[in-house]
Structure 1
Amino acid sequence: MPTTGSTAGSVVVLVSGHGSNLQALIDAATHPAYGVRIAAVGADRGDIQGLSRARRAGVPTFVCRVADFATRAQWDAALTSQVAAYRPDLVVLAGFMRLAGDAFLAQFGGRTVNTHPALSPSFPGIQGPREALDYGVKVTGCTLFVVDAGVDTGPIVAQRAVSVHDDDTVEILHERIKTQERQMLVDYVGRMVRNGFSVTERKVTIS
């Protein structure tokens, strides 16, 4: 949903850890021209820095632990309900280490985004930087995509390239990727919320 005038679009961010991408979004959202309001931050774990970042910024938080439910489907339904309570225009998975389930995708499919530290469709999964280095590619990067039922397989919103240096370690390369990832995430979340977007098969168009 595009935003108009002084109305900021609502975003719920889901995290599982440190929350550096979340912090970048919180910082951007302090500027009215960004057009985004962080309505809530949710997590699948209670004692994480991402939740502390949100609380310091005065953003409501909630926790939905998989271990608190008898089945994964029950957890997914509960997570969906908690996110829905904030009526988000967009959901951002910012280091959220759980796959979206059927209930979540039924309600928020097509308006949930995530990042991946490689140029999709190459090197899916959390070891993208290591696999890129091991394979010997000269260019890798990061991808912003619309979440589907797969692992880093959804329609691509944006990508940024990162050169691989001969003396790179996994850690050094990953840090360069994360810098680009944060900038890309902030840029495109703002565009998607302010302007609106559509997903047609694998094509994402920002209005």
Structure 2
Amino acid sequence: MSQRRRTAILISGRGSNMAALLAAAADPAYPAEIALVLSNRADAAGLARAAEAGIPTVVVESRRFGKDRAGFEAAMEAELAAHGIGLIALAGFMRVLTEGFTRRWSGRMLNIHPSLLPAFPGLDTHAHALAAGVRLHGCTVHLVTPGVDEGPIVAQAAVPVLAGDTEETLAHRVLAEEHRLYPAALGWLASGRLRLQEGRAVVDPAPGPSGESLRNPG
């Protein structure tokens, strides 16, 4: 098969979606190789999980840079370059990236958000969904652009909002869909099937066993 794309996962906490990506990438046939887990917090629990899986980890402490966002991102870029990274997957990375950084990684950086965007961008999405009385909630994988949670939508998964749901019960069902959806989307990006077309994310059909397109099966 073609060479796997070297991918960095950026985290700030426990790395739940990171673990799902690591599990997918453990298959040699998966088109992305997780070559680095980078955190802006030294106490992120996901760092230990990544190290246990044999993945190189690095910490670039954001608080050390104060308001110097450019300096923080330059330090991250140096680590990404040192590890030969070609793709980025944000997995609970709690920093807003600058326009310069997002443009440099345009079309090569994914994020997963716990709502059906464009509904409920930002934080506390499950609380907002319950307060709004929606009947469907879910998660979205999108390409990252300068606007927070505004990038082209790659894929979404929905779950019903049930009577008696709390933030915790709703979050649990959404998280199960996140763990299914994110590895699929990263695989599309790493294999070259995901591309931008007129500002929208397009996923090309998977090739058949002999390489032919499955766009028109049968």
Supply the AA of the counterpart residue of 2:34: I
Q: Which runs of 5+ in 1 are unaligned?
A: none
Give the CA deviation at 1:81: 2.3
Q: Which runs of 5+ in 2 are unaligned?
A: 205-218
Could you tell me which residue of structure 1 aligns to residue 39 of structure 2? 43
Please say if residues 76 and 103 of structure 1, whose CA atoms lie closer than 8 Å, have aligned partners that are also in contact: no
Q: Deviations over 1:131-157 (max 9, x none)?
A: 011000001111000111122111100
Q: Deviations over 1:96-142 (max 9, x none)?
A: 00111134223212211101111100011121111011000001111
Could you tell me which residue of structure 2 aligns to residue 10 of structure 1? 6
CA distance in 1, matches of 2:153, 2:138: 13
1:146-185 equivalences in 2 (<5 Å)? 146-185=143-182
Please say if residues 100 and 148 of structure 1, whose CA atoms lie closer than 8 Å, have aligned partners that are also in contact: no
Could you tell me which residue of structure 1 aligns to residue 203 of structure 2? 206
**When the two structures are superposed, what TM-score results if normalisation uses the length of structure 2?**
0.88
Could you tell me which residue of structure 2 aligns to residue 195 of structure 1? 192
Give SS of 1:125's match.
coil
Runs of 4+ off more than 4 Å: none
1:22 corresponds to 2:28 = no
Please say if residues 12 and 92 of structure 1, whose CA atoms lie closer than 8 Å, have aligned partners that are also in contact: yes
CA distance in 2, matches of 1:176, 1:128: 13
Give the CA deviation at 1:20: 1.1
Which has the larger Rg? 2
Identity over aligned residues, as a percent? Answer: 40
Give the CA deviation at 1:6: 5.4
Select the structure with the greater relative contact order (CA < 8 A; seq sep ≥ 6).
Answer: 1
Supply the AA of the counterpart residue of 1:51: L
Supply the AA of the counterpart residue of 1:147: V
